[in-house]
Amino acid sequence: MAWYDFFANFYDRSLDGLYRDARAAALQALAPAPGQRVLDLPTGTGPSTEGLARAVGPTGRVIGVDLSRGMLRRATARATRLRDDPALAPIELLHGDVHALTPELTGGPVDALHVFLGMSTFPRPDDAFERLWATLRPGGRCVVVDVFAAKLGFQGRMVNLVARADIRRRSWELLERVATDFTRTDLPSRRQHGGTLFLAVGVKPG
């Protein structure tokens, strides 16, 4: 994860504005309830953790997992800043590879799964999604936000290079195959996204 360890130094400055609205849309679509446990994977520098922690409140929990220690250091600094806010859930950050994820790592099944700009970057998306899905309890909700480009333009190639991603993946299809109440929505996209931002949401059958 050497690249993301380095990218962590300017990740938030470069991308905060570009994904702010999509992050809010993901939170709204996931709609975690007070007291729930949410898995945010990959959590990166933790840009989604505050919103998730506010939604589930002090009796809930946000578990953020990422493979890059550099990204996690930023997420930890953010969680430390938020620690004294009594309206927020505790934010637990774990170093881990999605390809080694087990429900034990998250302390048992989670109520909600937040996968933001992960499916295009994981080396083996099918395996990654299977493992993520296995951590979700039946009846739990999953949101996937990512970028898709059927054909790569210059900007799409740049995004792939900078994010070590493959935005040609039709990542929502993995969720669509297994979820009930599945919906996919295209979000307002800018040239800098390199393709179309999409939001997919579904529920694990009970």
Ligand X SMILES: C[S@@+](CC[C@H](N)C(=O)[O-])C[C@H]1O[C@@H](n2cnc3c(N)ncnc32)[C@H](O)[C@@H]1O
Quick one: 32 or 47, whose CB is closer to ligand X? 47
Distance between CA atoms of residues 169 and 105, nearest Å: 27
The residue nearest ligand X at its CB is: 44
Quick one: 36 or 120, whose CB is closer to ligand X? 120
Q: How far is the CB of 14 from ligand X (least distance, A)?
A: 10
Quick one: 4 or 133, whose CB is closer to ligand X? 4
Sign, Cα dihedral of 193, 127, 25, 6: negative
Q: What are phi and psi of 81, to 5 degrees?
A: -60, -30
Quick one: 99 or 190, whose CB is closer to ligand X? 99
Q: How far is the CB of 172 from ligand X (least distance, A)?
A: 16
Quick one: 69 or 139, whose CB is closer to ligand X? 69
Q: How far is the CB of 83 from ligand X (least distance, A)?
A: 20
Distance between CA atoms of residues 82 and 120, nearest Å: 29
Residues contacting residue 129 through CB under 8 Å, at least 6 positions apart:
119, 171, 174, 175
Where along the sequence are the contacts to ligand X (CB under 6 A)? 1, 4, 42-44, 47-48, 66-68, 71, 97-99, 116-118, 121-123, 163
Q: How far is the CB of 9 from ligand X (least distance, A)?
A: 13
Identify the CA nearest to 198 among candidates 122, 99, 120, 140: 120
Q: What are phi and psi of 97, to 5 degrees?
A: -100, 130
Distance between CA atoms of residues 68 and 1, nearest Å: 5
Quick one: 58 or 73, whose CB is closer to ligand X? 73
Q: How far is the CB of 189 from ligand X (least distance, A)?
A: 16
Beta bridge partners of 145: 116, 199
Q: How far is the CB of 171 from ligand X (least distance, A)?
A: 13
Upstream peptide bond of 109 is cis (omega within 30 degrees of 0):
no
